[in-house]
Amino acid sequence: MCGIVGYIGKQNAFPILIKGLHRLEYRGYDSAGVALISPENQLNIYKAKGRVSKLENSCKSKDVSGHIGIAHTRWATHGEPNHSNAHPHYSQSENLALIHNGIIENYVVLKEKLIQKGYTFQSETDTEVLVQWIEYIKESNKTDTLAAVQLALKQVIGAYAIAVIDKQHPDHIIAARKSSPLVVGIGENEFFIASDASPIIEYTNKVIYVEDEEIVILSQSGQPKIISLSNVEKTPQITQLEMDLQKLEKGGYPHFMLKEIFEQPRTLRDCMRGRINVDCNNLALSGIFNHKEKFLKARRILILACGTSWHAGLIGEYILEEFCRIPVEVEYSSEFRYRNPVLYPDDVVIAISQSGETADTLAAIELAKKAGAFVYGICNVVGSSISRNTHSGSYTHVGPEIGVASTKAFTAQVLVLIMMALAIGKERNSISQKQYEQILSELDLIPEKIKSILKQNQAIEDLSKIFTYAHNFIYMGRGYSYPIAMEGALKLKEISYIHAEGYPAAEMKHGPIALIDNEMPVVVIATHDATYEKTISNMQEIKARNGRILAIVNKSDDNIKKIADYIIEIPQTEECLGPLLSIIPLQLLSYHIAVKKGRDVDMPRNLAKSVTVE
Ligand code: M6R
């Protein structure tokens, strides 16, 4: 959701904050703002509706001096994206400025109390209420800003990562978190705060991950101090980051999404590295091995995730049931957390999240842990909240994914689930050694096979021109290809804004087939698998109603050439590995359609990369 960044030190804060905002812009891009304390002790706030570059341009004639500042890029929750709702927000006296990522749920009650006391508001946001509430406590209790922040946050219900500066104390940044991410960077006599490490890595690789209900005090002199809301001082745990700055750049591609699609041969290799041995006859996942009793005794596996990660979970269901013979259920985290699910201590929960910060998945994990279940995380972002709040897990190791549409993280999540199924299946003796080794050997070939699909990029771009007219798309597949149909549809809708739905092919005749006419493109994943013949019958049903079929087929499939209007060929592989290949042309197709329609591919409207509010 929103991105927050702060700096205190000897350098000019403004360029560091602006660069930081650019790096965090993938989190939200409705509006942006910055607050700086100038050497003359002015607290200057500048904001702009829209992208960070607009803020940057609008500040050209402004006083942007100062060695201390905070900045924000917004994904609107309360109040439309406009100048007054943009962060930072001043307190009534304009002595304090605050930025916030999260939602203050009881802001209406607090706002009413403040209005009764004579406070006035410039915005519709919950954030402005918080900064006013802090000032109100500070003045009515005659206390300092730190104590006021502590007291205010105790009264707040909701989620927050905040940073506050006070022009009466221009040598401090006070920051705090609860259920929204916050990282502190430790440089030489300078400190940074941010929603994730991407704005910090350029200056230091030493970070502190702030925990829930902790407040961090950064000052010009001295080391960061961490205290809890109840005033207990904690020793900061410093972590060394391994993040490559180059991976945060586009590397010559026009969009991060295209770069990330093209990275997949390498990212999948990275994900397998150190896990599958060179002879492809053994696999070691330490997260499984160290807790193998849990998987041997598991009564059931529950997979919890949202969006694309949920689609990876559906593929996980097929493969875990096939090779481990353990019942698997896949749930949206947001539904799971608000019903009253039946959970057993011998349940194993797999939580999947690229960002590792998705609020609903975090809450679902807490629920499962309370019921005594063992929770295994599959995350991409190292040190993220989910990776730190699970009992064990595996990282996907694909490097930063910046494009809002998830691509390389998805294929690596599927790969981790495949490796998990093989590792658990072997421990449980539910997979034969022959099949185990066959799949491992085939996995080794997947990166090269993806490269061969990527070579068709130009052909897919040409094909995409045919489809830019469409207002609706149907995607269909069976078995392992059914979740791919849903993922292909999600990729298209989120970046091109074309309505698209993914269905199990056999379901078409139970309703959706009514939508078919000669204007409806139907994308069919029709590779050689157990239900190949059945899929052909489903395609015939579409053709009989004049639907236009684009089929994803294995090489030299003459049967389907006769039925489909257009085809994209992909190499043959083991059935359970098919999703790793069939999703690639669908990612490219969505990308090219979106570009042809002039969409903002990396930052599509209304979306944000990391969904830290529920
Ligand atoms: O970071 P997470 O994997 O937990 O995110 C879950 C979804 O928000 C995410 O997959 C979303 O659906 C993407 N925009 C899909 O491309």
Ligand 1 interacting residues, C-beta cut-off 6 A: 306-309, 353-355, 358, 361, 404-406, 494, 607, 610-611
DSSP secondary structure letter of residue 330: E
Same domain, 65 and 212: yes
Residue 18 has a pLDDT of: 97
Total domains in the chain come to 3
Which of 188, 220, 243 marks a domain boundary?
243
pLDDT tens per residue across span 254-302: 999 999 999 999 999 999 999 998 788 889 999 999 999 999 999 999 9
What is the atom index within ligand 1 of the atom nearest the CA of 361?
Answer: 4
The answer to the question of residue 463 being in a domain is yes
The conformational region for residue 546 under phi > 0 = left, psi -120 to 50 = alpha, else beta, is left
Residues 531 and 549 in one domain: yes
DSSP string, 563-588: H-SEEEEE----GGGHHHHHHHHHHH
Can you tell me the distance from the alpha carbon of 178 to that of 364, in angstroms, rounded to the nearest whole number? 16
- Whole-number Å distance, alpha carbon 309 to ligand 1 midpoint, is 6
Last residue of a domain, one of 224, 243, 262: 243
In a domain, 609, yes or no: no
Same domain, 484 and 363: no
- What pLDDT was estimated at residue 606? 87
Judge whether 324 counts as a catalytic residue.
no
Same domain? 106 vs 173: yes
Low pLDDT (below 50) residues in the chain:
none
Rounded to 5 degrees, what are φ and ψ at 318? -60, -45
Looking at residue 471, its pLDDT comes to 93
Answer yes or no: do 539 and 412 share one domain. Answer: no
Closest CA to 474 of 586, 554, 378: 586
Q: Ligand 1: which atom is nearest the Cα of residue 491?
A: 16
Q: Distance (Å, rounded) from C-alpha 141 to C-alpha 390?
A: 40
Residue 295 lies in a domain: yes
For residue 149, tell me if it sits in a domain: yes
Ligand 1 nearest-atom number relative to CA 406: 16
Structure tokens at 105: 């749920």
613 located within any domain: no
Cα–Cα distance for residue pair 121/436, rounded to 1 Å: 64
* Containing structural domain, residue 103: 3-243
Given this model, what pLDDT does residue 28 score? 83
| Closest CA relative to residue 33, chosen from 69, 78, 80, 77 | 69
Q: Identify whether 138 is a catalytic site residue.
A: no
Same domain, 392 and 532: no
356 falls within a domain: yes
From CA 109, how far away is CA 480, in angstroms rounded? 49
**608 in a structural domain:** no
End position of a domain, from candidates 403, 424, 453: 453
pLDDT of residue 612: 77
Residue 117's domain is classified under what CATH number?
Answer: 3.60.20.10
CB 6 within 8 A of CB 71: yes
Q: How far is the CA of 445 from the centre of ligand 1 (A)?
A: 27
What separation in angstroms does the CA of 548 have from each of 278, 439, 510, 519, 540? Answer: 44, 35, 19, 7, 11
For position 272, which CATH number holds? 3.40.50.10490
- 550, part of any domain: yes
pLDDT at site 366:
95
pLDDT digits (tens, 9 = 90+) for 561-587: 999 999 999 999 999 999 999 999 999
Same domain, 432 and 351: yes
Do residues 199 and 288 both lie within one domain? no
From 331, 355, 390, mutation site for ligand 1 pocket: most ligand atoms within 8 A of C-beta = 355
Ligand 1 atom index nearest CA of 610? 1
Same domain (yes/no): 448, 322:
yes
CA atoms within 13 A on the CB side of 501: 12
Looking at residue 251, its pLDDT comes to 84
For the purposes of burial, counting CB atoms within 10 Å of the CB of 471, is it exposed (0-12), middle (13-18) or buried (19 or more)? exposed
Q: How many CB atoms lie within 10 A of CB 286?
A: 12
Catalytic residue among 49, 111, 259, 609: 609
Distance from the CA of 260 to the center of ligand 1, in angstroms?
15
* Same domain (yes/no): 539, 438: no
